[in-house]
Amino acid sequence: MAGSWWMSCRRFSTGFTTCGLSETLRCFIGRSPYSPASSTGRPFLSSAAGKEKKPLFPAQIHSKASHLIPSGIRHRSSLLYPTLQSCSCRTTHSDAKLRDPFTLAQKDLTSLYDDIKKELFVAKTELNYLCDYYFDGRGKAIRPIIVVLMARAMNIHSNRAGDLLPGQRTIAMISEMIHTASLVHDDVIDGSDERRGKRSINEVWGEKKAILAGDFILSAATKALARIGNCAVVKVLSQVIEDLVRGEFMQLGSKENENERFKHYLEKTYKKTASLMAHSCKAVSILVNSDPEVHEIAYQYGKNVGIAFQLVDDVLDFTSGAEQLGKPAAADLKLGLATGPVLFACQQFPELHAMIMRRFSSKGDVDRAWQYVLQSDGVQQTTYLAQRYCEEAIKQISRLQPSAERDALIRLTEIVLNRNK
Amino acid sequence: MFPAPASRLTRLGSVSFRGLRCLSLFSSSDSSTTWSKVVSDAEKIVGYPTSFMSLRCLLSDELSNVAMHVRKLVGTQHPLLNTARGFVYDSKNNLQMRGLIVLLLSKAAGPSHASSDLLPQDMISGIYPSQRNLAEITELIHTAFLVHRGIVNLKEWTDSDGPLKDMEFGNKMAVLSGDFLLANACTGLAELNDTKVVELISSAIGDLVQGIYYESSCSAEESLCEGVDVASWEDQTFLSHGALLAKSCQAAMQLAKHDRDAQRQAYLYGKHLSLGHKLNSDLQPFVKSRLGEMTLFSLSAAPVVFHRQIIGNERWHQQLEEARTLRNQLDYTKLLAAVKSEKGVSSAVDLCRYHSNRALEAIQAFPSSEARSALENIASAVTKF
């Protein structure tokens, strides 16, 4: 194989080749029967296609790299982030008022946690307490935010009023419940004793009750899902549950071959993180629109943002302090997981290969790997890749009719890229 | 209230008791031959061999991966090992009993009269494909929770029990494989294209979790089981052992668009049969034990609950103290004798007969057929000891 796609990604970002990237990335980003990057029928982006491929990127990489050290400044400057300003889809609607996605989504999410607690109500008080434990309003609730924004954007696109349909509101709730249920199980699998700044359920109540609490949250989510009464929606979201488990299984194994390893990593990322966002977005679109091409836009947005979200998460595992992320730094390495930054770093430091294969289990592996990653441009490469996924997400969502919510979803990609926790 | 060693023993006791429960109905004596015959006769009626568990799921990379890993657990004390063994050695009778009953009920209820989408010619041996899938799903869920029941609390594990690492690993495998089975059940449910069925089965999963949660609180801290009377024992047992079958039976009727009454009777059959079955297995150590044989039983088994209610908490604690050995463990033989000396056992037998009869009543709502007689035989078999 003459240079894997991600190796060309590497070359590209260091400024040598410019043509290989869009081709190779297209294999991963946004491959769909309806909307490949090269598709001609893009109603709102027709002038943008060529422009996007122009080599703006090396500059971005550098500006990006300088922002990698976590700082308060980065957060504020994200409002004027140059990448997205130069992005064509933004300029087409430059008059559209930029609105903060969090504020915009808020009105639909005021009762989110109360609604979830109602779903989880059981007579047994201790089980109740366990299930409510993480729905304390301290989570980012990024999934429900995306879902309600997508729902409103879809409703407007489908020539309706923006207001949420009851089923769409339920899907926002379910997305957070499924996510939380999987966190509870992940903490048992990983033996984590902390989550969102507090002791994990398994740490306080033991592994067995934690697993049961996770199962209970999941059952409450599928019950709520069934009550929406739409078979297609049930199918779409039950796929997520399967993906989450398959993703967790993928995390058990590692691949010898580097190219396969990266593919494996991205597929795992899709299954563990992006599938939930992608399918929840798709589900809210199904409830209001019957056009599969429209469903695909929703799906692709969620998928691309989801992968970007996880890539940034993996970067933060190296760059963020423990207090910001709510979990210890280098947590992934300690769990034996080789994420994006390590896989990229392995290109520069082949010494990492053996460590990856033994899952950083020898003494000193974690520290050495950490050093290699920071010396390499693995962090930049991963961030860069996340940016590409966000661009694809923007491209997809821009095919919808303009609305404040659609623009908020575009804005949200910046927040995903620039978050420091 | 009780010192740690005692509760540890109860915990281990309840583990082996569970193993016992899986096998008890079918071991050695008359009752087991009755049961085996009833079950194997019934299997012929539904037209398929006993392997209801979705092949797609069993043959998946994920589960073969787990199977490979579980081998590493051989020699450790992780409960997953026993559960896995159970699949191999006892896959015939008990594990797939729920699926079998769902199929028999489907067949007994017959073809749909209400829906034009369901064609009689789609039926295989008188059962719709969707009902067969449901039977598989019921088994997947049941198995998933057998696996999740065996998660070990790591903090309760001491070095003398074996290396902690093995337990961590066993837990990881148990969480993943249980989740995998559940996830497959979810996608399978979605494929049934009936959101009412999805809702029913989801609520059954919720019930099951609540029941198991209670069960595990109970075995971990005996004090929580204080004041459990027979009525609440029945409520809890319905959650942990009855809801899944009852709701699956109801869902099988829903899939064939049978009316509310048929659904109700199917639900009742599933409910009472499960309770009768559980009482039967709880009773085994009390009706079977021979002299000099060490018998373990759970302190939340039905005869003990009856016994406690009859003699009162004070005397019960006295008996517990009397049965405590010097090494602070419970002498189960002594305790067994104490329970047998009162009416706890016969009350539990009566309750078992009551549930068996209620199940028999419910099944009369369906027309007489080979499948119905098989269901009757099964309901009668739970009162054979």
- Which tens digit of pLDDT belongs to each residue from B223-254? 545 667 888 889 999 999 999 999 999 999 99
What is the per-residue burial (b if ≥16 Cβ within 10 Å, else e) of B363-385? bebbeebebbbbbbbbbbbbbbb
**Looking at beta carbons, which residues of chain B come within 8 Å of A218?**
182, 205
Contact B62 A246 (CB under 8 A): yes
Q: Which of A161, A147, A138 is nearest to A108 (CA)?
A: A147
DSSP state of A88: H
Number of other residues whose CB lies within 10 A of the CB of residue B30: 9
Name the residue with higher pLDDT: B320 or A273.
Answer: A273
Contact A122 B210 (CB under 8 A): yes
Q: How far is B300 from chain A (nearest CA, A)?
A: 18
The pLDDT value recorded for residue A36 is 36
Q: How far is B368 from chain A (nearest CA, A)?
A: 34
**Looking at beta carbons, which residues of chain A come within 8 Å of B179?**
185, 244-245, 248
Query: What is the average per-residue pLDDT within B73-90?
Result: 68
Which of A119, A203, A223 should one mutate to test binding to chain B, selecting the residue with the greatest count of B CBs within 10 A? A223
**Cα torsion angle, B354, B360, B364, B366, sign:** positive
Contact B182 A249 (CB under 8 A): no
Residue B207 has pLDDT above 80, yes or no: yes
Helix (H, G, I), strand (E, B) or coil at A111: coil
The pLDDT value recorded for residue A62 is 35
For residues B74 and B82, the answer to whether their CB atoms sit within 8 Å is no
The contacts of residue B88 (CB under 8 Å, 6+ apart) are: none
The topology (CATH level 3) of B4-381 is Farnesyl Diphosphate Synthase (1.10.600)
The contacts of residue A156 (CB under 8 Å, 6+ apart) are: A162, A400, A401, A403, A405, A406
Q: Which of B4, B1, B40, B9 is nearest to B297 (CA)?
A: B9
**Looking at beta carbons, which residues of chain A come within 8 Å of B217?**
126, 209
Phi and psi at A252, nearest 5°, equal -70, -35
Nearest CA in chain B to A239: B187
Give the Cα separation of B220 and B214 in Å (integer): 10
Q: How far is A3 from chain B (nearest CA, A)?
A: 30
Query: What is the average per-residue pLDDT within A71-82?
Result: 33
Which tens digit of pLDDT belongs to each residue from B37-67? 777 777 777 765 445 555 666 667 777 777 7
Give the Cα separation of A27 and B104 in Å (integer): 50
Contact B198 A222 (CB under 8 A): yes
Q: What rounded mean pLDDT belongs to chain A?
A: 78
B92 pLDDT band, cuts 50/70/90, is very low
B168 touching A (Cβ < 8 Å): yes
Concatenated DSSP letters for B115-179?
-SSS-GGG-BTTB-HHHHHHHHHHHHHHHHHHHHHT---GGG--GGG--HHHHHHHHHHHHHHHH
Spell out the domain ranges in chain A.
Answer: 97-325+402-418
Q: Residue B208: in which H helix or E strand, if any?
A: helix B195-220
The hierarchical CATH code for the domain A97-325+402-418 is 1.10.600.10
A197 touching B (Cβ < 8 Å): no
Query: What is the average per-residue pLDDT within B8-12?
Result: 35
CB-defined contacts A:B, below 8 A:
134
The pLDDT value recorded for residue A86 is 37
**How buried is A96 (Cβ within 10 angstroms: 0-12 exposed, 13-18 middle, 19+ buried)?**
middle
Residue B2 has pLDDT above 60, yes or no: no
The pLDDT value recorded for residue A143 is 95
Q: Which of A206, A216, A242 sits opposite B187 (nearest CB)?
A: A242
What is the per-residue burial (b if ≥16 Cβ within 10 Å, else e) of A312-342? bbbbbbbbbeeeebebebbebbebbbbbbbb
Contact B175 A127 (CB under 8 A): no
For residues A19 and A10, the answer to whether their CB atoms sit within 8 Å is no
Query: What is the average per-residue pLDDT within A1-17?
Result: 39
The contacts of residue B101 (CB under 8 Å, 6+ apart) are: B245, B249, B270, B273, B375, B378
The pair of three-digit structure tokens given for residue B57, joined into one six-digit string: 């799921």
Residue B7 has pLDDT above 70, yes or no: no
Residue A84 has pLDDT above 80, yes or no: no
B122 touching A (Cβ < 8 Å): no
Give the Cα separation of B227 and B297 in Å (integer): 19
Query: What is the average per-residue pLDDT within A123-132?
Result: 82
Which of B130, B195, B247 should one mutate to test binding to chain A, selecting the residue with the greatest count of A CBs within 10 A? B195
B154 touching A (Cβ < 8 Å): yes
For residues A161 and A155, the answer to whether their CB atoms sit within 8 Å is yes
**Looking at beta carbons, which residues of chain A come within 8 Å of B176?**
189, 245, 248-249, 252
Helix segments in A121-206, DSSP class H: 125-132, 142-157, 166-190, 201-205
DSSP state of A252: T
The pLDDT value recorded for residue B32 is 66
Number of other residues whose CB lies within 10 A of the CB of residue B287: 15
The pLDDT value recorded for residue B158 is 77
The pLDDT value recorded for residue B278 is 93
The pLDDT value recorded for residue B98 is 87
Residue A400 has pLDDT above 60, yes or no: yes
Name the residue with higher pLDDT: B343 or A420.
Answer: B343
Residue A97 has pLDDT above 80, yes or no: no
Spell out the domain ranges in chain B.
Answer: 4-381
Q: Residue A199: in which H helix or E strand, if any?
A: strand A198-199
Query: What is the average per-residue pLDDT within B266-285?
Result: 94
**Virtual torsion, Cα B251, B257, B262, B266, nearest 10 deg:** -20
Which tens digit of pLDDT belongs to each residue from A147-203? 999 999 999 999 888 789 999 999 999 999 999 999 999 999 988 888 888 899 999
CA distances from A357 to A16, A360, A365, A376 (A): 31, 8, 11, 19
Contact B186 A238 (CB under 8 A): yes
Q: How far is A227 from chain B (nearest CA, A)?
A: 7
**Looking at beta carbons, which residues of chain A come within 8 Å of B191?**
235
B154 pLDDT band, cuts 50/70/90, is confident
B152 touching A (Cβ < 8 Å): yes
**Cα torsion angle, B294, B300, B303, B308, sign:** positive
Helix (H, G, I), strand (E, B) or coil at A198: strand
**How buried is A368 (Cβ within 10 angstroms: 0-12 exposed, 13-18 middle, 19+ buried)?**
middle
Q: Which of A126, A238, A249 sits opposite B189 (nearest CB)?
A: A238
Contact A216 B210 (CB under 8 A): yes
**Looking at beta carbons, which residues of chain B come within 8 Å of A124?**
210, 213-214
Query: What is the average per-residue pLDDT within B370-382?
Result: 92
The pLDDT value recorded for residue B53 is 55
For residues A330 and A370, the answer to whether their CB atoms sit within 8 Å is yes
